[in-house]
Amino acid sequence: MGCNPLFITSLNSGSNGNCYYIGNAKEAVLIDAGISCRETEKRMLRLGLSMGKIKAIFISHEHGDHIRGLTVMAKKYRIPVYITPGTIGNSKLELPEDLVNSFTSHQVVEIGSLQITCFPKIHDAAEPHSFMVSCEDIKVGVFTDLGIVCEQLTHHFKQCDAAFLETNYDEELLQQGNYPYYLKKRISDGFGHLSNKQALELFINSRPARLTHLLLAHLSKDNNNPVLVENLFKEHAQDTMIIVASRDMETPLFTIGGASNSSAEISPLADSALRAQYS
């Protein structure tokens, strides 16, 4: 008997806040909590998602755009938080001890019928990790804040039915932009973020045949362009649906696996807002 489909959405993606929802009909997890609890509630409500289904929050690293809403959300809903000792030690989080759960690299954490594989990534943080969320044979990867495409990333990307993949910056826009030299260097020096070109090479060279949805994530406001990167990937998309995750609102809710691999129904409010943003 196959697993129920997984439902995924980006509630926000960018340097102003990151939060990704992955779950089945019974339970779900959040990867990062970088927007306020109130905004998370509002965006999930528009998508018809219940906060009660969130059984755990996994934190990738300690930067503010990944943890800003965590304390309030965890306390309000009594949600267990999975975080490494190094990440919590390098943050200013004040979490109830009974909600804090440590994980280690390559550990598989079971949350109901979901399995979350935690593996290390290269980024300028204490103990940064990426995640693969699985339910039997359905696998969804969350791969953002990446300095380079490493062997671990490639290995897990090749297994995905769907993935959130960082496309932070266009190399030309970054170099021609107004950022100071030290910041340009931090972004592109192998410990910062993934460029459109780097992410596209991974997509072209390592895309699995089973990959139905690719959500382009963590776009820079100043050094990228949603239309540019969407067109870049669509040239090579074949049967993979390409979606640009917004810096300002939730994406539609997508169904991964099961009888359908199409977008699930979303509220008219969310749909009209998304269309207005990219029209």
pLDDT by residue (tens digit) across 130-176? 999 999 999 999 999 999 999 999 999 999 999 999 999 999 999 99
Q: What is the mean pLDDT of the chain?
A: 92
pLDDT tens per residue across span 61-89 = 999 999 999 999 999 999 999 999 999 99
116 membership: H or E segment, kind and range = strand 114-120
What's the confidence (pLDDT) of residue 4? 76
pLDDT tens per residue across span 8-35 = 999 999 999 999 999 999 999 999 999 9
What's the confidence (pLDDT) of residue 3? 63
CA 104/CA 272 separation, integer angstroms:
41
CATH of domain 6-278: 3.60.15.10
What is the DSSP secondary structure assignment for residue 277, as one 8-state letter? H
pLDDT exceeding 70 applies to what percent of the chain? 91
Confidence bin at 274 (pLDDT 50/70/90): very low
For residues 92-103, one letter each, b for 16 or more C-beta atoms within 10 angstroms of the residue's C-beta and e for the rest, the string is: ebebeeebeeeb
What's the confidence (pLDDT) of residue 258? 73
Domain ranges of the chain: 6-278
37-46 and 70-77 helices, crossing angle to 10°: 70
Model pTM score:
0.92
* 251: pLDDT strictly greater than 80: yes
* 112: pLDDT strictly greater than 60: yes
